[in-house]
Copies of this chain bind each other. A is one copy, B any other.
Amino acid sequence: MMTRKNAFYAQSGGVTAVINASACGVIQTARAHRDKIGKVYAGRNGIIGALTEDLIDTTRESAAAIALLRSTPSGAFGSARFKLKSLEANKREYERLIEVFQAHDIGYFFYNGGGDSADTCYKVSQLSQAMGYPIQAIHVPKTVDNDLPITDCCPGFGSVAKYVAVSALEASFDVRSMAKTSTKVFVLEVMGRHAGWIAAAGGLVQDHGIPVVVLFPEIEFDQARFIARVDALVKAHGYCTVVVSEGCHYPDGKFLAEQGTRDAFGHAQLGGAAPVVADMVKQALGHKFHWAVADYLQRAARHIASRTDVKQAYELGKAAVQLALKGHNAVMPTIDRVSDAPYKYKIGMAPLAKVANVEKFMPRNFITEDGFGITERCKRYLMPLIQGEDYPKYRNGLPVYATLKNLPVARKLAPFELK
């Protein structure tokens, strides 16, 4: 018989509209197995909460509050952009994690994040074996960038894709209305550091009669060809929409939007490709333009989340606990697509050794030959992911989102200084 252990859950990296739905899946499923899983502790501000022994006691939250997580965007326990160094460079941090887990009788580590956290999760499982304190480390996938390998898609992506497609459609209708005397080119900047999945969603408006140019990070930016395309579309339709990924860059690797600052993971902090592109069009063709930078609005937009995405986020949280209960370790539950239309999928499982630090880019055959649009194959991939709406409840005109009590668990260890 399995020993009853507590569980630790933490959110990592940029939050999404549905990462809390995964938290809801983890916590509700753990609560349904009280015989096997004791308390679920959450890391306050992600993995930092584990390192500093700043644990949140989720058992102090009501069933209603936990249920409300399913329709609450952002990270309810706080997330962190904090990448643990390699085992060689800073073994002390990994050992500290194990010490905290041991002090609080934690046997399950659920880490909800992207590629970097899959790597951390994998290392924790390795070290726990080396240190002789068993931890089942399960990664719950999350990233709007949709760039994790093996899984067909990543929770968070479907909702941002829906937001981008809906927004691009609405703004395109707007510019179409104004084009005769005013704005002829609308530029929407979307997220996606290295992979153009989010930008690709903007290409879906093409099937609604919208002349759209998509600028992917996967395709080196060629200004002359881009301007020629915009010129042709405006001549043919009177207007056009440009969806540009923040990661769009010149052949020399320089981002259109480079601001010169870098985040904690060492990634360049981007933002501002849209005004650059809009100004190019103005200079070359003289068209009046408008531009928008969606930034956090896109990944926080729970109000227009994809029902498919919310459902999968919840299911993967649930599956993570089920995999743990079955004795799995160093794995990640995945979405395995069975068919496009009708859309069918199964929940699968991937070993973290194959997930950590692998980025999945758009296949070249998802991008049209000219590099400015998406192919039918890409549409077949994307369409199921934006299906369905999952509206939050509203009170007094605004969505009802959860703010948890987030009460701390009493500390048992000496303080730990983060480097």
Cα distance A182–B46 when bound, in Å? 12
A74 to B165, Cβ gap below 8 A? no
Task: Give A387 Cβ to nearest chain B Cβ, in Å.
Answer: 5
Task: Report Cα–Cα, A355/B299, bound state, in Å.
Answer: 41
Chain B residue with minimal CB distance to A201? B397
Chain A positions 166 through 180: 1 when the CB is less than 8 Å from some CB of chain B, otherwise 0: 110111011111111
Contact among B180, B292, B293, B394 for A48, CB-based, below 8 A? B180
Taken together as a complex, chains A and B put the C-alpha atoms of A156 and B262 apart, in Å, by 39
Q: Are A398 and B78 in contact (CB under 8 A)?
A: no
**How long is the Cα–Cα vector from A213 to B275 in the complex, in angstroms?**
25
Choose one: B79, B174, B209, B391; the contact of A403 (CB below 8 Å).
B209
- In the complex, A304 has a CB within 8 A of chain B: yes
Measured between beta carbons, the chain B residues less than 8 angstroms from A174 are 15, 73-74, 296, 299-300
Q: Contacts of A46 on B, CB cut-off 8 Å?
A: 180-181
Closest to A274 in B: B293
How many copies the complex holds: the figure is: 2
Inter-chain CA distance A151–B99, complex, in Å, is 66
> How long is the Cα–Cα vector from A403 to B165 in the complex, in angstroms?
17
Q: How far is the CA of A304 from the CA of B301 in the complex (A)?
A: 11
Whether B394 lies near A391 (C-beta < 8 A) is no
Proximity string of chain A (189-227) to chain B, C-beta cutoff 8 Å, 1 when within and 0 when not: 000000000000000110011000000000000000000
Contacts of A388 in B (CB 8 A): 394, 397
User: By the criterion CB–CB under 8 Å, are A171 and B297 in contact?
Assistant: yes
User: Complex formed: what's the CA distance from A17 to B169 in Å?
Assistant: 12
Q: How far is the CB of A260 from chain B (nearest CB, A)?
A: 11
A271 contacts the other chain (Cβ, under 8 Å)?
yes
**Residues on B with beta carbons closer than 8 Å to the beta carbon of A173:** 72-74, 300, 401
Give the shortest distance, in Å, between A303 (CB) and chain B (any CB). Answer: 5
> Could you tell me the distance between the alpha carbons of A18 and B81 in the complex, rounded to whole angstroms?
40
A32 at the interface (CB under 8 A from B): no
As a 0/1 sequence over residues 138 to 157 of chain A, the CB contacts with chain B under 8 angstroms (1 = contact) are 00000000000000000000
Question: Does any Cβ of B come within 8 Å of A55's Cβ?
Answer: no
Which residue of B is nearest A167, CB measured?
B297
Q: A11 an interface residue at 8 Å Cβ cutoff?
A: yes
**Contact B389–A169 (Cβ < 8 Å):** no
Q: Which residue of B lies closest to A173 (CB)?
A: B74
Distance in angstroms between the alpha carbons of A248 and B11 in the assembled complex? 37
- Verify if A263 is at the interface (C-beta below 8 Å from B): yes
Q: A15 and B291: CB pair below 8 A?
A: no
Residues in B with CB closer than 8 Å to A76 are 177
Which of B82, B178, B391 meets A79, CB within 8 Å?
B178
Residue of B nearest to A299 (CB): B174
Q: Can you give 9 A-B contacts (C-beta < 8 A)? A: A11-B177, A73-B173, A166-B398, A167-B301, A175-B296, A208-B398, A269-B288, A306-B397, A383-B396
- Besides A46-B180, A74-B170, A173-B401, 10 more A-B contacts (Cβ < 8 Å) are A15-B174, A74-B174, A82-B181, A166-B398, A171-B297, A209-B403, A271-B291, A293-B293, A388-B397, A391-B391
